[in-house]
Amino acid sequence: MQSLPRIILAIALTLISCGGPRGGAQAQQREVERWNRVLTAEPLSFNTQPNAFLVEMTRGLPPGKALDVGMGQGRNAIFLAQQGWEVTGFDPADKAVAAAQEQAKQAGVKLTALVLRDDQFDFGKEQWDLIVLSYVALRHLVQRLYDSLKPGGRVVIEAFHRDAAKAVSIGRGVVFETNELPRLFDRFRILRYEDTEGRGDFGMQNTHLVRLCAQKP
């Protein structure tokens, strides 16, 4: 029989997305409950440290205003706040957001954490110096990301390559074809793109990943 963390991880990889629950109110609530279990289960079955690509891509950047889309339990948002960024994050999983708020309090950093889906959040216009999208669906967000970044602002993305889905079921929103990310962000200046093997934050094993750091002109 599978252990509870493995079952929860399987649910996570199947459902993982940015937009949060869709459909009717009951379906939305069921999905929120699933995500709350995934993101707050003990022991946690995913990387609780900040995403390594994000850490590398922000090293040496002057802090500004950052947005963490689909923030989960706040590992990336709290890291950025600790580096001096003014951070806002959102996620539909209310218990995960509450955990992020508590961790930020314990770390002594300020964090604006909201319980919202991406279709409920006001991205604004030329608001952000940095937007983080770590294992979240984003195809439907590209225009909003572009509009809401300040000139010179950056997006930092990590997700799965389609080859990763050959071994395990992963929600399509975070699975990308070869060179799909650079095509989606063709209005941006591509600072770095990786199509590589690496340790996935979800699954915690070597798999095929894609990573992008792109800047709004």
Q: Does CATH place domain 4-215 in 3.40.50.12160?
A: no
The residue ranking higher by pLDDT, 32 or 117, is 117
In this prediction, residue 128 carries a pLDDT of 98
The residue ranking higher by pLDDT, 5 or 173, is 173
pLDDT tens-digit map of 178-216: 999 999 999 999 999 999 999 999 877 899 999 999 999
158 pLDDT above the threshold of 50: yes
Q: pLDDT category, 146, cuts 50, 70, 90?
A: very high
pLDDT tens-digit map of 128-139: 999 999 999 999
Length of the chain: 217
What is the rounded average pLDDT of the residues 137-150? 98
In this prediction, residue 13 carries a pLDDT of 52
Task: Please tell me what DSSP assigns to residue 171.
Answer: -
In this prediction, residue 202 carries a pLDDT of 82
Distance from C-alpha of 196 to C-alpha of 211, rounded to nearest angstrom: 8
- 38 half-sphere exposure, CB direction, 13 A CA radius: 24
| E strand or H helix that includes residue 198 | strand 189-199
CA angle 70, 20, 212 (to 5 degrees): 40
Percent of the chain whose pLDDT exceeds 70? 84
pLDDT tens-digit map of 5-58: 443 444 455 445 444 445 567 777 777 777 667 676 666 667 889 999 999 999
| E strand or H helix that includes residue 31 | helix 25-40
In this prediction, residue 3 carries a pLDDT of 43
DSSP structure string for 88-112: EEEES-HHHHHHHHHHHHHHT---E
Q: What letter represents residue 157's amino acid?
A: I
What is the rounded average pLDDT of the residues 144-173? 94
> What three-state secondary structure class fits 2?
coil
DSSP structure string for 72-92: TT-HHHHHHHHTT-EEEEEES
The residue ranking higher by pLDDT, 149 or 1, is 149
98 pLDDT above the threshold of 80: yes
> Packing angle between helix 4-15 and helix 25-40, nearest 10 degrees?
130
Q: What is the pTM of this model?
A: 0.87
In this prediction, residue 25 carries a pLDDT of 73
Distance from C-alpha of 167 to C-alpha of 179, rounded to nearest angstrom: 21
Distance set, CA 1 to CA 5, 11, 140, 204 (Å): 12, 16, 38, 20
Q: pLDDT category, 171, cuts 50, 70, 90?
A: confident
> Packing angle between helix 25-40 and helix 94-107, nearest 10 degrees?
40
In this prediction, residue 153 carries a pLDDT of 98
What are the structural domain ranges in the chain?
4-215
31-40 burial code (b ≥16 CB/10 A, e <16): bbebbbbbbb
In this prediction, residue 8 carries a pLDDT of 41
